[in-house]
Amino acid sequence: MDPLPSSVLPPGVRARILSGINGLDIHVLEAGFETPGRPAVLLLHGFPELAYSWRKVLPALAAAGYHAFAPDQRGYGRTAGWDPEYEGDLAPYRFTNLARDALGVVDAMGHRDVKAIVGHDFGASVAGYAALMRPDIFKSMVLMSAPFTGPPPLRKPAPTTPDIHAALAALPRPRKHYQWYYSTRPANQNMWRARQGVHDFLRAYYHYKSADWKANKPFELAGWTAEELAKMPTYYIMDLGDGMAEAVAREMPSPAEIAANKWLTEPELKVYSDEYERTGFQGGLQWYRVRTSGRFDAELELFSGRTVDQPSAFIAGASDWGIYQSPGALQRMQKQACTNMRHVHLVEGAGHWVQQERADEVSLLLLDFLRSVT
């Protein structure tokens, strides 16, 4: 697979393939590569995104003197060597191995360490574990849109509430949790072969979770109960009979709204849709299966009680429900998982795709944080 062509990339950003990284050939975008010896910044995307999600941030970091680079993570885009089948081995997608992928990228890019590791959405989990496990490599950390609450405890308390999935299904309006839906066999086909096509599926998905969908007015939930979770939009707590393609189709933006969208134009969206039409979504969905199954929690428990002590910051859209989808997570991140959390920024006018919706503001926040880190 060739790298993304320069015609779809901003000036100063190039794409290339790093061969032989932890069993993968990893596709990366980078900026600030012309001058050797620059401090490094590693950027990790989430679902359903790509390295391309950082296209507006990479040039800003390079202009400020950094070598910034973003990989298509395992299961995504033009990175090759991962198994696209539902029946495939989940072990390569466990978080210790995803952190190993990140470490391999840093090494292949010629750096012994990075000034900051930055993770958005599911990329925040990888960034969190990488920073936790290798503070000597990852000197600081910035998380976006998804709080990192640390490794699982060695001893888990006995459940005190009914099964959440049964409780959601028993609501007057029966519901289900999207992460467990994403862990099922039909999820990939539902999105990859969506009736509306991949391009329109992604347009509706990105719109529905952005600040452009005006009903995104998130607030802190009282607890992990079906009644509380059901207050969230259907991209998180889905109607029981829907697939995600059907859930987002109801919120498809109008042609006028699409034309007015400056943070994700139709040519930019086509970069995403072309990639997902080719690969499907299963690679990214394997990450959800790792999380919901708990199969690999035992090795994460090795780090139980350990905290991220490096300087850290959190950036999210003020219209992003992702901050609150796990009740109490934002507080646990600040008070327990991270001992040096310097800033929490909620960016007005942005939803879940904060680094795309408000790229200039996010870039300034990143640069302010980087300058504060010695």
Side-chain-side CA neighbours of residue 18 (13 Å) = 26
The C-alpha atoms of residue 68 and residue 51 are separated, in whole angstroms, by: 11
Which residues have C-beta within 8 Å of that of residue 10, sequence separation ≥ 6? 55, 56, 58, 59
Q: Which of 67, 120, 177, 352 is catalytic?
A: 352
Report the distance separating Cα 349 and Cα 212, nearest Å.
Answer: 8
CB 342 within 8 A of CB 140: no
Nearest to 66 by CA among 93, 38, 35, 90: 38
Q: State the Cα–Cα distance between residues 95 and 9, nearest whole angstrom.
A: 29
Is 352 labeled as catalytic in the residue annotation? yes
Does 121 qualify as catalytic in the annotation? yes
Specify whether the CB–CB gap between 132 and 151 falls below 8 A: yes
Number of Cβ within a 10 Å radius of residue 304 = 12
User: Tokens representing 323?
Assistant: 């901050």
3-state helix vs strand vs coil in the chain, percent to 5: 40, 15, 45
CA distance 58 to 12: 9
Find the catalytic residue in 27, 72, 101, 121: 121
Q: Which residues are known catalytic residues? A: 121, 352
